[in-house]
Chain A
């Protein structure tokens, strides 16, 4: 029942109750397209030896440096189910989130079945607005990595089985190969858990040995990728201490969000009820851990603490962990509700727990901020233009995108599957305000430069295109007339100071007069082909 409600409120609603669409639906930020296009490129290439050149700013030997698991599992699911990658990977992620939630149910059930049942309603918050951005804004690898992290936590309950460490090892390798930073959270949890047991004189050497065996297995499985990780992400984004109370430009998730829905906001005096249950659960979980040294209360306590590591240098990584607070903290919520209900109903059985759980669930769902159906940055016209470019232009052609409302979430441009360039917004605005049309504009090469565009020089030696080239190369003046195709948006409706795209259309008129040919046009987008790249194309 909860699975149906979760799926209905989450993806079902967002996707207008269809699993296949004509263009990406539910994609609300650049990173969602980043992962979609990478998955698409791996499908096209059949492997992830290299980043596609249209992802790697035109460079053709940049190694595949992103943790690969999400893309491969998502691709396989998409291909076999005959879904487009943009639908298949998204569906895969949602289904696995539900499975992750159910895995947490079984973790809590090992503590108490009543608590597990009462814990589940909180998990619905994973699909309300502030946490839904984990999906719609493209924090997909972090989300899937958290799901495997839950699997790793489950496997800790089974370490007494002879080969139980194998399952821990496999789940840990899944965490490492999906979004490596969650590995740090997994081992911080283990450190806290084992240290607390040591302090309470309940240290279990056999358990620790099994964890070490599982970790060794995970390192063996992930070894090849971890070398890449060491020389890419750890070079480009090393740990640095900083305190980040909020997540800049992102609606991060905070404990207060557990009461952030209409029913309770209607009354300012209404207490943040769910938050209170979590706090009560926290106190009881601490007491329970001191008494039993059980892993289930430890999970709730630790994941709450780890969600605050944004204050000790983990920055947005901590906020990515918080996306899964609705699942992790459901332990504390379930314990809190259970003990509060027990005050009133002494003989709490499974049936009563289920009824209470369902009632809480209905209250949350009916009052949650759930996104409207069919929400997306993409539309059929831009999708038509991008897919046309990917199928009808020469593979080595260079594309130039003039201003478009959605283009500055630039990972979506990678759907053109061609080397592409984007006009710099400030230079564009200046030219527009001065009413001048020119050949040279400040231009960005969009692409994923997060790991400094690494390429292999030897087995353990890497070069970085982001270092080899100066910043002007990636963001500097370029000749508009040197490109093979120029893409114009016909309308603008943004908050960027551009109320119409008359300027785009004026450039287009000049180019048409100079002999460029319109090769594709729809209601929103016009594509011109430059038959003589390098020659004057605007009649300067």
Chain B
């Protein structure tokens, strides 16, 4: 198994942990809100932005501590999904569909690229 995939496997635990910590932080700050709403917001953030951006960061930077990868990856993710959603909208694919299409496409493309590059 290559280093990029190994890096992801190593960070999966941190990723899950970050989700829990993020949810706890939001639950503390917005303590009058239901936990379900908080988790839904965090899940959305992760699906739309964190996952695509973090996956791209694994493709480009092998060595990065997880928190830095998470922060930069999530910022990147907003651009990675936001700009194509604009263009897809112009092409007739509504934003409501981009929500599912884009992160799923990025997962396929980036993971596929990783396997391909590491097999080479």
- Interface residues of chain A, those whose CB is within 8 Å of chain B, are 3-4, 7-8, 11-12, 15-20, 42-43, 46-49, 68-70, 72-73, 75-77, 79-83, 91, 95-96, 99-100, 102-103, 106, 147-148, 151, 154, 158, 161-164, 166-167, 170-171, 173-174, 177, 221-222, 224-225
Contact = CB atoms under 8 A, between A and B. Distances in A.
A47 B94 contact: yes
A100 B96 contact: no
Given A48-B86, A95-B45, A17 B94 contact: no
A65 to B, nearest CB: 13
B95 A43 contact: yes
A49 B91 CA distance: 9
Contact of B68 (A48, A68, A106, A161): A106
B30 A12 contact: yes
Contacts of B49: 73, 77
Interface of B: 25-26, 28-33, 37-38, 40-41, 43-45, 47-49, 56-57, 59-61, 67-68, 71-72, 74-76, 78-83, 85-87, 89-90, 92, 94-96, 98-99
Contacts of A48: 86, 89-90
Contacts of A100: 75
Contacts of B85: 72-73, 75-76
A19 B32 CA distance: 8
A18 B72 contact: no
B79 A170 contact: yes
Q: Which 5 A-B pairs have the closest CB atoms?
A: A46-B94, A47-B89, A73-B82, A174-B79, A81-B44
B60 A72 contact: no
A81 B40 contact: yes
B61 A158 contact: yes
A183 B5 CA distance: 35
B75 A19 contact: no
A158 to B, nearest CB: 6
A174 B79 CA distance: 6
Contacts of B95: 42-43, 46-47, 72, 75-76, 79
B51 to A, nearest CB: 12
Contacts of B87: 224
Nearest to B78: A73
Contact of A170 (B37, B67, B76, B90): B76
B32 A73 contact: no
A49 B89 contact: yes
Given A47-B89, A95-B45, A17 B78 contact: no
B25 A103 contact: no
Interface of chain B, main secondary structure: helix
Contacts of A8: 28-29
B71 A80 contact: no
Given A48-B89, A76-B81, A106-B68, A18 B33 contact: yes
B75 A16 contact: no
B76 A17 contact: no
A227 to B, nearest CB: 13
Contacts of B48: 73, 76-77, 80
A16 B81 contact: no
B82 A81 contact: no
Nearest to B74: A99
11 contacts: A3-B25, A7-B25, A17-B33, A18-B30, A47-B92, A72-B95, A77-B45, A99-B71, A163-B60, A171-B79, A174-B79
Given A42-B89, A154-B72, 10 more contacts: A4-B28, A4-B29, A42-B95, A76-B85, A76-B99, A147-B75, A151-B75, A163-B59, A164-B61, A170-B76
Contacts of A80: 43-44, 47-48, 99
A151 B83 contact: no
Given A47-B94, A47-B95, A69-B83, A77 B74 contact: no
A166 B53 CA distance: 12
A440 B53 CA distance: 56
Q: Most chain-A Cβ atoms within 10 A of its Cβ — which of B33, B41, B94, B99?
A: B41
A106 B90 contact: no
Nearest to A13: B29
Q: Most chain-A Cβ atoms within 10 A of its Cβ — which of B30, B47, B76?
A: B30
Contacts of B92: 47
Nearest to B100: A80
Contacts of B29: 4, 7-8, 11-12, 17
A448 B67 CA distance: 40
B95 to A, nearest CB: 6
Nearest to B85: A72
Given A4-B25, A8-B29, A19 B82 contact: no
Nearest to B28: A4
A56 B59 CA distance: 43
Contacts of A162: 60
Nearest to A177: B83
B83 A72 contact: yes
B79 A148 contact: yes
A15 B30 contact: yes
Contacts of A46: 89, 94-96
Nearest to B25: A4
A75 B102 CA distance: 14
A77 B102 CA distance: 13
Q: Most chain-A Cβ atoms within 10 A of its Cβ — which of B71, B74, B94, B96?
A: B71
B79 A173 contact: yes
